[in-house]
Amino acid sequence: MNKLVDKEIVAKKMPSRIIRNQVFKGLFFLSTLFGLLVLGVLFYRIITQGIGYLDLDFFQNFASRRPENAGIKAAIIGTIWLMVVVAPVSLILGVGTAIYLEEYAKKNKFTSFIKLNISNLAGVPSIVFGLLGLTIFVRALALERSVLAAGLTMSLLVLPVIIVASQEAIRSVSKELREASFAMGATKWQTVLKVVLPASIPGILTGGILALSRAIGETAPLIVIGIPMFVAFLPKTIMDTFTVLPMQIYNWTSRPQAEFQDVAAAGILVMLVLLILMNSIAVFIRNHFQKRY
C-alpha cells in the first residue's frame, strides 16, 4: 500500500528535529538574555553608584566643582526647554512631510528618490547635523547658542526618523477606509484629516516619541554648535542659552575625581527614568488608540 505519510521515516527524523528546535530555542533565549544581562549589570552599577547623590539637592543645585554640591537644575530644565522646541517643530514638519509624500506626491522616480534620501538621512551621524546647525542656525540666522538654535538642529536630526515612522503608519491605513471616505464625497484633505490621521496616530506618536527620546540623549551636535556645559541660570525665553542632561553627564564622567563618577551615575539614573517615562507614554498611546480601528 502506498502510504502518504511514512511513519517510520517520521519517527526516525523526529529526535533530530526536536533537538534542532531546542537548540534554536536556547539560542534565541540566550540572545534575549544577553541584552537583559547587560541592562541588569548597567542598572546595578548605576544604582549602587548614583543612589547616594540622588536627593532633592541634586535637582535644585547648579553644576559645581564639589561633587556633593553638584546638581542638574540647569540641565534638566534645559532638557525640558529643548523638548518644548523639538516636539512641535519636528512633529509638525515630520508628519506634514509624510502626509505629502504618501497622499499627495505623484508616485514617480523623483518622489522615490526623495524617500530614499530621507531614509538615508536617518543614518547620518549626529555630529554632521551639529555642523549643519552651526552653519545655518547659529551663524547664518544669528540665533547664537540659544534654545531655538539647538532645538531646530535637534529637530533636523530626528526629522528623518519621524518622517519614516509616519510614512509607515500612514501607509498601513487600509485602502478600504480611504475609498469609503472618497465614496462619501470627501475631498483628499477631509479624508486625510478625518480618516487617515486618526487611524495612523498610534504609529505616528510611537515613532515621534522614540525620536524625541533620541533627541534628549544626544550630546555631540550640541557640543558642536557651542551649547555651554556650565550655566548657573535658567533660560527665560527660547533665545537664551542653556545646557542639557547628557552634556552634564558627559562632563562628569570625564572628571578625574571618583566622586564625580558617582554624580554622573545619579545623572544617568534621572536620564533613564526620563526615557522610561517617555517610552511608556509611547506604549500607552499605541495600546490605547490601536483598539479603535
**279 is a contact residue toward another protein (CB under 8 A):** no
Which of 160, 129, 158, 154 is closest to 242 using CA atoms? 154
Interacting residue with another protein among 31, 257, 280, 290 (CB under 8 A): 257
**65 is a contact residue toward another protein (CB under 8 A):** yes
Q: How far apart are CA 237 and CA 160, in angstroms?
A: 27
Q: How far apart are CA 60 and CA 69, in angstroms?
A: 10
Which CB atom, from 18 or from 232, has the smaller least distance to another protein?
Answer: 232
Q: Which range binds another protein by CB under 8 A, 10-18, 91-99, 164-172, 252-260?
A: 252-260
Half-sphere exposure of 41 (CA within 13 A, CB side): 5
Interacting residue with another protein among 46, 159, 161, 231 (CB under 8 A): 231
Q: Tell how far CA 148 is from the center of its chain.
A: 19
**81 is a contact residue toward another protein (CB under 8 A):** yes
Q: Which range binds another protein by CB under 8 A, 3-11, 58-66, 113-121, 266-274?
A: 58-66
Q: How far apart are CA 75 and CA 114, in angstroms?
A: 37
Residue-wise over 215-234: b if at least 16 C-beta within 10 A, else e?
A: bbbbbbbbebbebebebeee
**91 is a contact residue toward another protein (CB under 8 A):** no
**3 is a contact residue toward another protein (CB under 8 A):** no
**220 is a contact residue toward another protein (CB under 8 A):** no
Interacting residue with another protein among 151, 251, 263, 268 (CB under 8 A): 251
Interacting residue with another protein among 164, 196, 247, 271 (CB under 8 A): 247
Q: Which three cell numbers stand for residue 90?
A: 519636528
**241 is a contact residue toward another protein (CB under 8 A):** yes
For the CB of residue 187, give the shortest distance to another protein in the complex, in Å: 19
Which CB atom, from 146 or from 167, has the smaller least distance to another protein?
Answer: 146
Which CB atom, from 152 or from 264, has the smaller least distance to another protein?
Answer: 264
Cα angle 120, 89, 200; round to 5 = 70
Question: Residue 217 phi/psi, 5° resolution?
Answer: -100, -5
Strand boundaries in 37-177, DSSP class E: none
Residue 69 identity (one-letter amino acid): N
Q: How far apart are CA 291 and CA 288, in angstroms?
A: 6
Number of residues interacting with another protein: please give it, by CB under 8 A.
Answer: 42
Place of cell 487617515: 196
Which CB atom, from 160 or from 206, has the smaller least distance to another protein?
Answer: 206
Q: How far apart are CA 201 and CA 239, in angstroms?
A: 32
**227 is a contact residue toward another protein (CB under 8 A):** yes
CB 272 within 8 A of CB 213: no
**293 is a contact residue toward another protein (CB under 8 A):** no
Which CB atom, from 54 or from 274, has the smaller least distance to another protein?
Answer: 274
Give, as ranges, the residues between 122 and 181 that touch another protein (CB under 8 A).
Answer: 139, 144-145
Q: Which range binds another protein by CB under 8 A, 78-86, 148-156, 172-180, 271-279?
A: 78-86
Query: Cβ contacts of residue 279 below 8 Å, gap of 6+?
Result: 209, 210, 213
Query: Which residues sit at the interface with another protein, rule CB under 8 A?
Result: 62-65, 77, 80-81, 83-84, 87, 139, 144-145, 198, 201, 223-224, 226-234, 236, 241, 243, 247, 251, 253-258, 261, 281, 288-289, 292
